[in-house]
Amino acid sequence: MLDFENACSISSHRAHFSQANAVLFHSRNINSKEISSFPFPRRQEIPYVMVAYESPYNAKLETYKDFFNWTMSYRIDSDVFAPYGGLLRNSELVKVNYAKIWRSKTKGTLWLVSNNNVNNKRKKIVEKLIENGMKVDLYGKVYNREPDNCPRDGAQEGCDERFQSPYKFVIAFENSNCKDYVTEKFWRKAEQYKMVPIVMSRKIYKDLGIPDNMYIAVDDFKTLKEFVEFIENLTSNEKEYMKYHKWREEFRIAEANQEIFGFCDLCQKLMDFQNRTIPKKSYSSLIAWHNEENCDNSFVDRYL
């Protein structure tokens, strides 16, 4: 509901339905059967919004012919752009303490992974990198290994940062390689722990306008051996390594729903909608908009 100060509030109480300026549904918690038995009469004057934070493999979207007016997801072409994080340009260049960052980086590469039920063979790629001589510290449910003194449950405050921040690089492979799909494993590692993310495919990040020198992409290299050699040289070269932190002078990272993203974007659009600056529309098929054709996991095969 929009209050009198042009801010927004979010409610899950059914009693507020008649006052709502938009109705949101989460793709993984709804289906066509539940939509057809929706207990409230359709309000034609407000947008119905489908929220889809997962990749097409896990979003569980259906057709929902002409039921939804807006989409809200990490996709740039969503009606409401709701990424897991994003870059905002600083008003002026920020002074970065490069020497402090370098002194803090006493370890090489980390991979912290808990899900092996994925579509892009990321575990096989990492194991191939290790076969080619890359040193990777493996943690997470997949490897049945937790950091000392920092268990997943019941960890002491700050231990996660103490564990991750010393690493120069982090393997930030997503569970699938899909259009615009970049999650918190990229943004949070770069911002909070000041690590350089290692990703699979440059195109996904380039399409989002993320600076090339913020990350290292495996598919820039003809072979995994070349990639491993590059990382080895970078690990011990302060001057070259710090080039991957240069972006911090010009940009800052905003997490999900901060500043212009997510619910902040939705709030602004609802105000515009009340002023009728956004035309009304509906989606004839959401699954046609968000499906596996927007993903490409095949490129990894050339390395295996």
249 occurs within a structural domain = yes
96, 224: one domain: yes
22, 113: one domain: no
108, 171: one domain: yes
4 occurs within a structural domain = no
243 occurs within a structural domain = yes
- 19 phi/psi in degrees, rounded to 5: -100, -10
Place of tokens 């000041």: 194
- How would DSSP label each residue in 33-77? HHHHT-SS---TTS-EEEEE-S-HHHH-----TTT-SEEEESSTT
Q: What is the pLDDT of residue 274?
A: 77
19, 152: one domain: no
Separation of alpha carbons 289 and 286, rounded Å: 5
Q: What is the pLDDT of residue 154?
A: 60
264, 287: one domain: yes
122, 215: one domain: yes
1 occurs within a structural domain = no
2 occurs within a structural domain = no
Three-state secondary structure of 182-245? CCHHHHHHHHCCCCEEEECCHHHHHHCCCCHHHCEEHHHCCCHHHHHHHHHHHHCCHHHHHHHH
Using a 10 angstrom Cβ sphere, with 0-12 exposed, 13-18 middle and 19 or more buried, the burial of residue 232 is middle
111, 184: one domain: yes
Q: What is the pLDDT of residue 107?
A: 97
Q: What is the pLDDT of residue 6?
A: 58
7 occurs within a structural domain = no
Amino acid type, 204: I
Taking only the tens of pLDDT, the chain with its 304 residues reads 444 345 788 999 988 999 999 999 999 999 999 998 888 888 888 999 999 999 999 999 999 999 999 999 999 999 999 999 999 999 999 999 999 999 999 999 999 998 888 889 999 999 999 999 999 999 998 898 888 777 766 667 788 889 999 999 999 999 999 999 999 999 999 999 999 999 999 999 999 999 999 999 999 999 999 999 999 999 999 999 999 999 999 999 998 888 899 999 999 999 888 777 666 899 999 999 999 999 999 878 888 8
Partners of 295 in the β-ladder: 178
57, 124: one domain: no
125, 235: one domain: yes
| Domain encompassing residue 159 | 86-254
150, 212: one domain: yes
Separation of alpha carbons 104 and 258, rounded Å: 28
Number of domains present in the structure of the chain: 2
5 occurs within a structural domain = no
91, 205: one domain: yes
Place of tokens 């076969």: 131
Residue 218 sits in a domain whose CATH number is: 3.40.50.11660
Using a 10 angstrom Cβ sphere, with 0-12 exposed, 13-18 middle and 19 or more buried, the burial of residue 112 is buried
135 occurs within a structural domain = yes
61, 120: one domain: no
